[in-house]
Chain A
Amino acid sequence: MSVKYLTNRTLFQKFSTNLNKRFLATVSTTSKLEDIYDIVIVGGGIAGSALACALATSNLTKLQKRIALIESSNTSNIREWNPLQGEFSNRVSSLTPRSVQFFKDIGVWQNINEERIKPFSDMQVWDGISDARIRYNNESDKKGPLAWILENYNIQHAILKTLDKDKSIVDIFDNTKVQDITFDKDSGGGQFDLSDWPSVELSDGRKLKARLLVGADGFNSPVRSFANIESLGWDYNSHAVVATLHVDPNIENKTAWQRFLPTGPIAMLPLQNGFSSMVWSTTPNLATKIKSISSKDFACLVNAAFQMRVADLEYFYSQLGNNESVDLQSEFEWRKSVQLKNSDPKEEFPPLVLGVQEKSRAGFPLRMRNAESYIKERVVLVGDAAHTIHPLAGQGLNQGLADVHHLLQVIERGIANGQDIGDINLLRGYSSERYLSNLVMLGVVDKLHKLFGTDFTPTVLARSLGLKTLNNLEPVKAEIMKYAMGL
C-alpha cells in the first residue's frame, strides 16, 4: 500500500481498522495511524487557528486531509469569553480590509461580536517636535473603513466558534505543549516510509507525524529551531506599553491618533465612545515608570504625551520617580492655557484622557525579526514565527493573516494537482509570494521608526517637510493608504 492512500480520508477510515490489527503485534515504537496527520499546526494563536479554520472550511482540504492544531494554553478561557460592557481587553489589533475579507471568506466574521468592534475612517499622524501633520480621511470613499479595531479575544473566540461547528475536521490539542520535534528514524506505518516526516512529541506522550508541519508558534518558535532556520534582526531599545483608556465620552471617538515622540510613537485607537486603546512605545526605563505611577498621573502623562511640547514631557519624566511632588494636572492645565493662546485653532487633538482601566497597563519588548527562510522540507512558518515587526503601523497581525491566506491557496493548489503538500517545491510558491512583501513592510516600518526616533534638527526639518508635502498630495496619500490597507 502506498502513502497515496492516506490522502483520502474515507479510505483511511476503512483501512485503519485492518492496519491496526496487523500492527498490534509489532513493537510499540511504531506510531499509530491516528497519529499520522497531513497538516500539523503548532500554535493556536490567531494565525495558527485562522489557518486551521481556513483549512476546515476549504472544500478541497476539509474532507481529504487530517489536520491537527496544537495549542499550549487552555482554550476554554477563549471559548467562555464573556466580556463586560464598558471593559475592554488591553490586547487589541487593527485589522485591514484585506484581513477582514479573509475572515469573511472563511466564515469567521459572522461570529465576531459586532458590538465590540470599531471601524474607523480617519487617521492623524504627526511629528512630536515640529507638529508637522498628515491626515487621512476615508469617510466619503466607497472602499469602506481604513481599518477595524478589535480585541484579540474577540477574534480568537470567533475563530474557535467557527472551528467548533464541525469538530470532526480539525483535531484540536489544547492544553498540550510540544515537548520535542524530531525526525524519527522509525518509519511510522511499517509499509509507509515516513522517516522524512517530522515527528511532534506532545506533553501527553503522543507522537504525531506530520506531512506538513506549520509553525505558527510565535516569536520563539520551536518549529523554526527544529528546522534550523535562523531568525535575523535586532531588538529595538523600546518597550511598548498598552492600556485601555477612559476618554472624554462627549467627543465622537472615530479617529486613530499617533504622535511620534523622540522616544517612540504613542498611538490612541478608538474602541467606543469614551474608550480607547493606547500603545506607547518608549524606552525600557520610562516604560517601567509609566506602568507603576498612579492612574491619575498616568492619565495626565498620556494627555501631555499627545498635547505638550517634548521639553514639557521631559520635565514630567524627570519628576515621575520623585514622590510625585509635582501636580501634573495643574502643570498640564497651565501649559494648555499658554498653548491655546498661541497656536493654530484648527489643530486637532485626541480626546482628553480621564482615566485608565484597572490593571490594564502592560508592557512588552519590541523587536524586528525575519526568518532567513519561511520554508524547509515539510516545514513552513507563518505569523510571528516567521517575522516580527514594530507596532507603529498596525501591520503585524495583518501580515500573519496574509501569510495564512497564501499558504491556504498554495495547499489547495497542491491538492488539486495531486501533489504531496509537504513538497518543498510546492511550498516555494508560498515563500516567493510572502518573503519579499514581508521584507519590504518590515524594512519600511523599521526606517520610519529610525527616522522619527531622532531629534537632530536637520532630520526633523527634512521629515517635517516630507510630512507636510505628503499631506498635500492627495493621490500619493491615497496610494500609500491602499498599500497599508492591503488592497
Chain B
Amino acid sequence: MFRASSLSSQIHTRKFLLANLSRNILQSNLHRDNKNSEVIPIRTNYTSSTNSQISNLEKCTLAVSSALTAFCDPGRGDMIATLGETTGSIFINRMRDHMLRDKTGRRILQERPRIHSSTIDIPYLSSLPLGTFGKEYTNFLDGQNVTPDTRVKVQYIYDDELAYVMQRYRECHDFFHALTKLPANVEGELALKWFELAQTGMPMTLLSSIFGPLKLSSKERERLFKKYVPWALQCGSQCKFLLNVYYEEHWNKNIDEMRNELGIYLVD
C-alpha cells in the first residue's frame, strides 16, 4: 500500500531506508545468537517519527538489493526475509486464502499463536519421548544450536493479518525441518526452499531455489537436482498445506503418524 506523503516525510523515509539498508549490510549476522526473552511484537518499531510506509519504487529497490545481498551471503536470513516481503504480496494473499478455506487455518488466523521461547515450553518438549513431534523438533533445534527466536520480524507488510501470515510462515520453518528431516546445511535449506516453492509459490523461494545452487559445488548440485528437488516438488505439491496445521496441539503426537496424516514422506 502506498500512502502519499509530504516532502518532508519523504525525506524522512528515504533517510530511514538508507539507514536500514546500511544497517543490514554493514552489521554482521545479528540473529543466530540473539536470545531475546521478551515477547516480541510482530512489527519492528520504526525510529522515524512519520511511521510511513515505503512506496512501490522503494519496494523494488529493496527487492533488488536484498536479492543481491542474499546471493552473495546466503547466511543473511534477514535479507531473504526482506526479499520475501517485498516480492510476495500476491502469494501471501494466496496463502491467507488457503488458510481461510480450512477450518484449522481459520482458527489459527483468529487465535494468532506465536512460536517463541516464551510461548512454547522447550524444556518440556525435550522431555517428551523419542519419536514424538515435540522431541524431534527440540532435537533439531539443539543439533543446529538455534532457538525459535531467531526469526526476523515482518517489516514491510502493512496489513496486520497478512503480516501475521508471513510471520507464522517464518516461524514454522523449523517445523518443516523436523517433519521432512532435512538438515540445516546449505543443501537441506535449498531442498526445503524448493519444497516451500511447491507449497506457496512465492517468488522469494523461486529466486533462492534458482540462484542458491549456483553457490554449490557441481557434485552437490548434481545431488540436489537428482535427489532432493524431485522429492521436494512432488511431496510439497501433494501434501497438506502446512500452514493449516496447529503445531502447538501436536507435540505429543508420534512423528511418523503425523507425517502420514499430512502426506509427507522422507527423501529416499
**Interface residues in chain A, defined as those with a beta carbon under 8 Å from any beta carbon in chain B:** 309-312, 314-315, 318, 331, 334, 338, 341-342, 457
Asked if B217 is at the interface (CB within 8 A of a chain A CB), the reply is no
- Residues of chain B with a CB closer than 8 A to A342's CB: 158-161
Asked if B106 is at the interface (CB within 8 A of a chain A CB), the reply is yes
Select which of B101, B158, B159, B160 is within 8 A of A311 by beta carbon: B101
A315 touches B160 (CB 8 A): no
Closest chain A residue to B159 by CB distance? Answer: A342
Asked if B110 is at the interface (CB within 8 A of a chain A CB), the reply is yes
B100 touches A309 (CB 8 A): yes
CB distance from A91 to the nearest CB of B (A): 35
Asked if B73 is at the interface (CB within 8 A of a chain A CB), the reply is no
Select which of B101, B160, B161 is within 8 A of A318 by beta carbon: B101
Please report the C-alpha to C-alpha distance between residue A341 and residue B106 in the assembled complex, in whole angstroms.
Answer: 18
User: How many chain B residues touch A (Cβ–Cβ < 8 Å)?
Assistant: 14
Please report the C-alpha to C-alpha distance between residue A342 and residue B158 in the assembled complex, in whole angstroms.
Answer: 8
Asked if B142 is at the interface (CB within 8 A of a chain A CB), the reply is no
CB distance from A103 to the nearest CB of B (A): 47
**Interface residues in chain B, defined as those with a beta carbon under 8 Å from any beta carbon in chain A:** 90, 96-98, 100-103, 106, 110, 158-161
CB distance from A317 to the nearest CB of B (A): 10
Please report the C-alpha to C-alpha distance between residue A351 and residue B106 in the assembled complex, in whole angstroms.
Answer: 26
A311 touches B97 (CB 8 A): yes
- Residues of chain A with a CB closer than 8 A to B98's CB: 311
- Residues of chain A with a CB closer than 8 A to B158's CB: 342
A312 touches B160 (CB 8 A): no
Please report the C-alpha to C-alpha distance between residue A312 and residue B100 in the assembled complex, in whole angstroms.
Answer: 6
B101 touches A314 (CB 8 A): yes
B97 touches A309 (CB 8 A): yes
B100 touches A311 (CB 8 A): yes
- Residues of chain B with a CB closer than 8 A to A338's CB: 161
Please report the C-alpha to C-alpha distance between residue A257 and residue B98 in the assembled complex, in whole angstroms.
Answer: 28
Q: Can you offer 17 A-B residue contacts whose CB atoms are under 8 A?
A: A309-B100, A311-B96, A311-B97, A311-B98, A311-B101, A312-B100, A314-B101, A315-B100, A315-B101, A315-B102, A318-B101, A338-B161, A342-B158, A342-B159, A342-B160, A342-B161, A457-B90
- Residues of chain A with a CB closer than 8 A to B160's CB: 341-342
Please report the C-alpha to C-alpha distance between residue A311 and residue B95 in the assembled complex, in whole angstroms.
Answer: 10
Please report the C-alpha to C-alpha distance between residue A334 and residue B90 in the assembled complex, in whole angstroms.
Answer: 23
Please report the C-alpha to C-alpha distance between residue A311 and residue B106 in the assembled complex, in whole angstroms.
Answer: 11
Please report the C-alpha to C-alpha distance between residue A310 and residue B101 in the assembled complex, in whole angstroms.
Answer: 10
- Residues of chain A with a CB closer than 8 A to B159's CB: 342
- Residues of chain A with a CB closer than 8 A to B102's CB: 315
CB distance from B265 to the nearest CB of A (A): 27
Closest chain A residue to B161 by CB distance? Answer: A338
Please report the C-alpha to C-alpha distance between residue A338 and residue B112 in the assembled complex, in whole angstroms.
Answer: 12
CB distance from A354 to the nearest CB of B (A): 25
Closest chain B residue to A461 by CB distance? Answer: B90
Please report the C-alpha to C-alpha distance between residue A342 and residue B165 in the assembled complex, in whole angstroms.
Answer: 14
Please report the C-alpha to C-alpha distance between residue A312 and residue B102 in the assembled complex, in whole angstroms.
Answer: 9
Please report the C-alpha to C-alpha distance between residue A341 and residue B162 in the assembled complex, in whole angstroms.
Answer: 12
Please report the C-alpha to C-alpha distance between residue A342 and residue B103 in the assembled complex, in whole angstroms.
Answer: 22
